[in-house]
Amino acid sequence: MKLSGVMPPITTPFQDGKLASDKLKSNFQKWDKTGLSGYLVLGSNGEAVYLNEKERIKTVEISRESIPTSKIMLVGTGMESTEETIRFTNQAAKMGADGALVGTPSYFKGSMKPQILYDHFIAVAESSQIGILIYNVPQFTGINLEPGWVAKLSEHSNIIGIKDSSGNIGQLSEVIYLSQKGFAVFVGSAPVFFPALCVGAAGGILAVANLLPQECVRIQNLFEEKKFDEARLSQGRLTPLANAVTTKHGIGGLKMAMDLAGYFGGDPRAPLKRPGPEVEEELKKLLQSLNQDNT
């Protein structure tokens, strides 16, 4: 199974505050018909931090049943402690995950020196029954893993890739240049998907792919066909919506946009909120203008 292409970090649907299994299944039915190469379950956009253990397990179970074996299933398994991370990673492995995405622990920011993080990832990789991908997301964690350290980690046979959501293309570029051949570098920020591909990224794990999988896949296809001007234009058209459903309006905005695009989004869990009608109006317009551009 080649680690590449476009994957959405899937949202977790709730109804009346409870995990809505059927809604998740119906989303998968739609996603599976697109060119997505796989899925990230229990990522940030999956509100993993708002799920208890039972709900996390249920979500992985449903996902495993819904995802065809021809597509990749990554599961977010990073916890603050090394031991818990190992435990949950192997639980995900047992449940059929193809790989685990492990975030940098970050609560004690001041103590998370590079060597501490290095040792953490090596310890997890040593004990994990599946390959792990590093998850670098400084805007949430306040911690950035430098390219030199990523390159070192890429030498471990069980550390098979990274999702870098910093949006920093210079950094991504260095990670790719310095890391071992075959190390799968995914960009986690849709507004820089096209330039990430230019510098050699294997693909993107993109929030906006929850609602516009084809638009994301199209950028990668155009890139691979060397139609750079078209790819760049597609990127330019996608960016305003990509910004709106992440940085600007958060997961509430992402779920609202999914509802508008024909998927089930629903409400996020408190303290997050569904945005108001002005944001709905804004998202509608962004979707319409994107559709017009595409025709």
CA 253 – CA 251 distance, rounded (Å): 5
Which of 67, 133 has the CB closer to a copy of itself? Answer: 133
Distances (CA, A) of 283 to 157, 231, 239, 244, 267: 43, 23, 13, 8, 16
Residues 247-276: x/- map of binding to a copy of itself (CB under 8 A)? x--xxx----------------xxxxx---
The residue from 163, 227, 273, 284 that is catalytic is 163
Near a copy of itself by CB under 8 A: residue from 38, 167, 203, 204: 167
List binders of a copy of itself among 55-94 (CB under 8 A).
80-84
The three-state secondary structure class of 105 is coil
120 touches a copy of itself (CB under 8 A): yes
Q: What's the CA gap between 16 and 27, in Å, rounded?
A: 18
Q: Which stretch binds a copy of itself (CB under 8 A): 65-73, 150-158, 187-195, 277-285?
A: 187-195
- Who contacts 200 (Cβ-Cβ below 8 Å, separation ≥6)? 173, 176, 177, 185
Q: How far apart are CA 220 and CA 175, in angstroms?
A: 20
Cα–Cα–Cα angle for 183, 186, 189, rounded to 5 degrees:
160
Provide the residue count of the chain: 295
Residue 4 as a binder of a copy of itself (CB under 8 A): the answer is no
Asked whether position 201 contacts a copy of itself by CB under 8 A, the answer is no
Q: Which stretch binds a copy of itself (CB under 8 A): 30-38, 47-55, 66-74, 285-293?
A: 47-55
Whose CA is closest to 160, among 186, 185, 132?
Answer: 132
Residues catalogued as catalytic: 163
Interaction site with a copy of itself (CB under 8 A): 17, 44, 49-50, 52, 80-84, 105, 107-112, 116-117, 119-120, 123, 139-140, 142, 167-170, 173-174, 177, 189, 191-192, 194-195, 198-200, 226, 228, 232, 235-236, 239, 247, 250-252, 269-273
